[in-house]
Structure 1
Amino acid sequence: MTKVINFAHRGSSAICPENTMAAFHKALEQGATGIETDVQMSRDGRLVLIHDEMLNRTTSGKGLVKDHSWSEIGQLDAGSWFHEDFQGEKVPSLEQLLDFTRDKGTIVNIELKNGVVLYPGLEERVIECVRQYGMEERVIISSFNHYALVKCKALAPEISTGILYMEGLYEVWDYAQTVGADALHAFKYAVLPEWVEQARSKGLVYHPFTVNDAKEMMHLMQAGVAGIITDFPDVLHGLLHGEGG
């Protein structure tokens, strides 16, 4: 089971402000072998790592990410909302994360946040950035917008994609093949051992989200998933290395 990818959800987001370099650094310290993050675009086309379309919840800013320049976003505090110890933490760019991980063997799951705000050219810019850092073999692009994943596969067939979905889609492994996807990023309750096996027979792997309970982690590992997306990479690391469960 040690081959299961330990994806830190927005970094080590249980103890650090999500989608910050502090969270990404802590995740690797805790044994994460993968990092899951979210990408949006600034007004001037920079790739911004932030989950919400709005700045309000996780930064000192207000309004839509798309309405602010990268320079403006760079001046915001992205840590104090979580804890005063993180005051001054910044919103990172995709370039910063790829530069941090490229020599560490880390798998990076980039979720395209283009379901509410449709960012023109987001797919092209993300792929260009991944190629710039030579990370094609270690990046998975995921999205709830499956049209975007079809576009990514057309632009970069060498980069893995994963379809994000919430419910028990019928024979999702067949549907995923129509999208050209490589992985099923299912909500944790939409995963059964027999489905994992059927998906594997079609060359697809499961990376369920967001799994924070140790018993659920064990159940999913026993079901044969290839990766788990969690807010607690330290807990999953312990299970993978026989330190709990």
Structure 2
Amino acid sequence: MKKRSMLTILLAVCLYGSNVFAQTKVIAHRGYWDCEGSAQNSITALNKAHEVGAYGSEFDVSITADGIPVVNHDDSIQGFCIETSLYEQLKDLKLKNGERLPTLEEYLIQGKKNQGTQLILEIKPHRRVVNEDKAVAAILYLVQKYQMEDQVEYISFSMNICKELIRRAPAVQVSYLRGEVSPADLKILGFSGLDYHYKVFDKHPEWIQEAKNEGLTINVWTVDDPAVMESMVAKGVDFITTDKPKELKAVIAKF
């Protein structure tokens, strides 16, 4: 173990206690896509996240004009705006690894087979609030249909989406992504956690302890630098989202 790592461990133990590192877990950002045969938000990436033992596989969902939730990071794909396009227009579009654009239903069916891997479902902001509400309703319906309430956790940059999730399903795990709301305020709003970019905690280092005091989970995105990984683990965050899940697992193993 490097000397710097040992010093980091000793400092963290003094600040946060001896079990500070026990809960830090790996979430694969858009699945484990940075490997042969995979692609962001593909079924392959979902499976590969499971194969490498990630706690969770993160992915992005938007709803089509005719109400079909599909898995894609951007709000458009190959020139088609998802929110204003019919699923028939999108269903044969291919990802970079040759897979078809997956529907959320297909993703859930495969994800249910990957027992032990949580599905970290990001609902993307939509151009119209009414479509955000439709997306929440359609997504919750599918999760309930496949009896996956305990395997799916939700994140979003949209406060409206998060509030709608909490209103419709108060027991679900919902974390906010944007980064401008304090842990204490998130707790009042009914959130279970916060999922902020690591630079937010540079600006508000006190929010880590505040979140712990409020009983909120702490996730940090998107961390690919080993030095930042090490720093976040030392600060006692619960989860780290990364494009490099194998490298992150190796960093965590040093602690």
What TM-score, normalized by structure 2, do the two folds share? 0.82
Shift of 1:207: 0.6
Residue equivalent to 1:82: none
Query: Is residue 36 of structure 1 aligned with residue 58 of structure 2?
Result: yes
Give distance in 2, aligned partners of 1:71 and 1:236: 39
Alpha-carbon contact 2:193-2:216 (below 8 Å) kept:
yes
Alpha-carbon contact 2:70-2:101 (below 8 Å) kept:
yes
Alignment of 1:87-236 (within 5 A): 88-103=98-113, 104-118=115-129, 119=131, 120-166=133-179, 169=180, 172-191=182-201, 194-236=206-248
Residue equivalent to 1:70: 87
Shift of 1:115: 4.3
Structure with higher Rg: it is 2
Q: Secondary structure at the match of 2:70?
A: strand
Q: Secondary structure at the match of 1:31?
A: coil
Give distance in 2, aligned partners of 1:159 and 1:99: 19
Task: List runs of 5+ in structure 2 lacking aligned partners.
Answer: 1-20
Which amino acid is 1:43 matched to?
A
Shift of 1:237: 1.9
Alpha-carbon contact 1:2-1:240 (below 8 Å) kept:
no
Alpha-carbon contact 2:33-2:45 (below 8 Å) kept:
yes
Shift of 1:37: 0.8
Alpha-carbon contact 1:33-1:106 (below 8 Å) kept:
yes
Structure number with the higher helix fraction is 2
Give distance in 2, aligned partners of 1:229 and 1:133: 25
Q: Secondary structure at the match of 1:102?
A: helix
Aligned mate of 1:46, from 43, 60, 68 = 68
Deviations 1:151-192 (CA, angstroms, capped at 9, x unpaired): 1111111111001114xx36x112202321111110111126
Which amino acid is 1:197 matched to?
Q
What percentage of residue pairs aligned between the two structures are identical? 26
Give distance in 1, aligned partners of 2:22 and 2:53: 12
Alpha-carbon contact 2:175-2:191 (below 8 Å) kept:
yes
Give distance in 1, aligned partners of 2:168 and 2:240: 27
Give distance in 2, aligned partners of 1:175 and 1:37: 26
What TM-score, normalized by structure 1, do the two folds share? 0.86
Give distance in 2, aligned partners of 1:140 and 1:42: 21
Shift of 1:146: 0.9
Shift of 1:31: 2.5
Shift of 1:105: 1.8
Shift of 1:78: 1.1
Residue equivalent to 1:11: 31
Which amino acid is 2:214 matched to?
K
Give distance in 2, aligned partners of 1:236 and 1:31: 11
> Aligned pair count?
228
Task: List runs of 5+ in structure 1 lacking aligned partners.
Answer: 57-61, 80-85
Which stretches of structure 1, 4 residues or more, deviate above 3 A after TM superposition?
Answer: 115-118
Between 3-12 and 218-227, report the one with greater CA deviation. Answer: 3-12
